[in-house]
Structure 1
Amino acid sequence: MFNKLSESLTNRLIETGIIHTDELEIYRFGLETLMMKICHLASYLLLGIFFDKLLELLLFIAAFIPLREYAGGYHAKTPLRCYLVSCLTVISLLFLLHATPSQVMNYSMILAFLASTILFFIVPVESANKPLDESEKTYYRSKAGFLIIFILTGALISRMLDWNYLSYILALSLAYEAVIAIVGLRAGKSVHMQ
């Protein structure tokens, strides 16, 4: 769907003289990626509204997405699978935020420290779609490390201020990335073994 729409839009841009024919593939790919990201974000927002957890979802996304970009991890092989896995991830998060008793949220720092420790040892996790050379690994590791410390500090300050719900959301952003990174490592090992 997005492929045909982006192709149609880039052809129109060529016809109107806005871009040149040699730039077709770059613009087509960029438009397709943009449309997919908008679709993902719109779906997340609708899920947040449906579960009445929009603000919580936005806080999670603000912490999780930058960390995910630099820490890496599992990547689905098709856009549809990526969309489905992403939506299921958001649904599971919203369910956890709804179902977790407030007494359990008091212990969010245990989850945050455990997830941070795991992440420090394994990031960045490259995938078949995004292999990294040594300089990129160093760069991504330093960015991911900064974000881990930043999110962990935010969770700790929130906990010290007795904002346990916020601390729990930040801890979950670290925990979800840790799971995705571990799955990405395991998927990468199985690809290398074949």
Structure 2
Amino acid sequence: MTKWLSHRMVERGIIKEEEQELYQFGIRNGMILLLNVVTALVIGLLTEQLAVVAVFTLSFMVLRSYTGGYHSDSRIFCYLGSNLVLLVPVYTQAVFCKTSLAWLLAVLLVSAGIIFLLSPMHSKNRKLDKEEQKHFGRKARL
């Protein structure tokens, strides 16, 4: 589908032929992102936890952009893994609602400390050079 779309864009003069591969990559990633957002929306609606899913998904997407971490070789495994991670706050939010504010703040501080100390993270599929480490590390800490 991405080849067809990029080919049509070349035919219509929207992009140059030498840019076709780059646009295929962008279209493919955009479609994957859209699929993940739609899946998150469906999970939120089915579990009646749309607010929890929305807050977690937005937070996770922003945080993940700057902190790095594991990158799967397989798109299917990435999709399934991402959605399994999404189920954690959906099914544990009731526990957090019953937890004291002191414990919640302690968990928040420990989590922030881990992010502060360990980000950005490399992976075998996404290596960061020194400049990227500095840039993403600064963004993650903010």
- The bucket for the TM-score relative to the shorter chain is over 0.9
SS of 1:77's partner is coil
Alignment correspondent of 2:65: 69
Q: TM-score, normalised by structure 2?
A: 0.92
1:138-193, Cα deviation, whole Å (9 max, x unpaired) = 111100000xxxxxxxxxxxxxxxxxxxxxxxxxxxxxxxxxxxxxxxxxxxxxxx
Structure 2 residue 108 is the aligned partner of structure 1 residue 123: no
Q: For residues 101 and 133 of structure 1, do their structure 2 counterparts lie closer, same or farther at Cα, with a shift above 3 Å needed? A: closer
Tell me the distance in 2 between the aligned counterparts of 1:87 and 1:64: 12
Structure 2 residue 83 is the aligned partner of structure 1 residue 87: yes
Tell me the distance in 1 between the aligned counterparts of 2:51 and 2:141: 26
Structure 2: give runs of 5+ residues left out of the alignment.
none
Structure 2 residue 106 is the aligned partner of structure 1 residue 110: yes
Q: For residues 13 and 71 of structure 1, do their structure 2 counterparts lie closer, same or farther at Cα, with a shift above 3 Å needed? A: same
Alignment correspondent of 1:162: none
1:87-110, Cα deviation, whole Å (9 max, x unpaired) = 111112211124x16332532111
Tell me the distance in 2 between the aligned counterparts of 1:84 and 1:67: 19
Structure 1: give runs of 5+ residues left out of the alignment.
147-194
1:10-56, Cα deviation, whole Å (9 max, x unpaired) = 11111222212101101100000000100000000110111111112
Given candidates 5, 30, 47, the residue that maps to 1:9 is 5
Alignment correspondent of 1:22: 18
Paired amino acid for 1:103: K
SS of 1:125's partner is coil
Q: TM-score, normalised by structure 1?
A: 0.69
Q: Which has the higher contact order (CA 8 A, sep 6+)?
A: 1
CA contact (8 A) 2:69 2:122 kept: yes
Percent identical: 28
Tell me the distance in 2 between the aligned counterparts of 1:20 and 1:102: 54
Task: Give, in angstroms, the shift of residue 67 of structure 1.
Answer: 1.1
Root-mean-square deviation (CA, aligned residues, Å) is 1.4
* Runs of 4+ displaced beyond 3 Å: none
Tell me the distance in 2 between the aligned counterparts of 1:89 and 1:105: 24
